[in-house]
Amino acid sequence: MSNIKILLFKELKDQFTSPLIYSLTGLFCLLIGWLFFNYMVLSKDYYNETLTTSVIIPIFANMNFIFVLIAPLITMRSFAEEKKQNTIELLFLSHLGPWQIIIGKFLAAWIVAIFMIAFTGLFPLVLALSGYSDFGVLFSSYAGLICTVACFVAVGIFTSSLTNNQIFAALLAFFLIFILMLLVLIMNVSYNYLLAQILQYLSSSFHFQDFVKGVIKSYNLIYFISFIFFFFYLTHESLDSRNW
């Protein structure tokens, strides 16, 4: 565990000394703040809708989509940069095993994403001042977003382990994440019931929707945990077959 902590702190230091992270955080705050403001203004025109319907659901859907773009940029250097700088072998020559390296890099990137999400902490206060009281839905929405982003990060860590090109790693991660989100739409046009159910379960969007509705089900949690560890396994296999 101490070895993971050492790697985690190193990765966090690298992340938070990168101008990219602060640029992404600034853009995220500006965009999501602007969207939240507009949803709050528009909500006054929807007398038959609650703040959950008019503000929370759309703002979290937007944050989810924004992280489809951000997560690959956070993770693209995880292993690709190590390969490019020929420092990957130094990691394996240390007292760190492949699983420890994967978990350390995953946690660092995930913490960076949570750091960005934390800047939306003002939203609950604004909602409370507007008379909103269903904070259970707000809590589950944040929980769902953090879980979904963890999946995106796991995908990004995997794609970064495949190449020494950061841009390629980011593009591949974006493609895979986007496909995972689109599965729920493909399911709607499938005439095969079994296939539709499988595609629905595999889609991260489907599981995220339950959280935003204030529903936390065990099979959603099982999905997120299984998804993350599946990509951990793929990353491990990628690193295990390295020929550098």
What is the mean pLDDT, run by run of 10 residues, along the chain of 244 residues? 84 93 96 94 71 90 96 95 84 81 96 97 91 89 96 97 95 94 68 75 87 90 96 94 59
Question: Could you give the residue ranges of the DSSP H alpha helices within the chain?
Answer: 2-16, 19-43, 51, 57-75, 80-84, 88-93, 98-118, 122-129, 135-160, 166-188, 193-202, 204-212, 218-240
pLDDT of residue 87: 81
Long-range contacts of 91-97 (CB under 8 A, 24+ apart): 91/7, 94/3, 95/3, 96/3, 96/4, 96/7
CA distance 211 to 216: 6
pLDDT of residue 104: 94
The backbone torsions φ and ψ at residue 135, rounded to the nearest 5 degrees and listed phi first, read -75, -10
CA distance 83 to 78: 9
pLDDT of residue 211: 94
pLDDT of residue 244: 46
Q: Output the CA angle 222-110-77, nearest 5 degrees.
A: 125
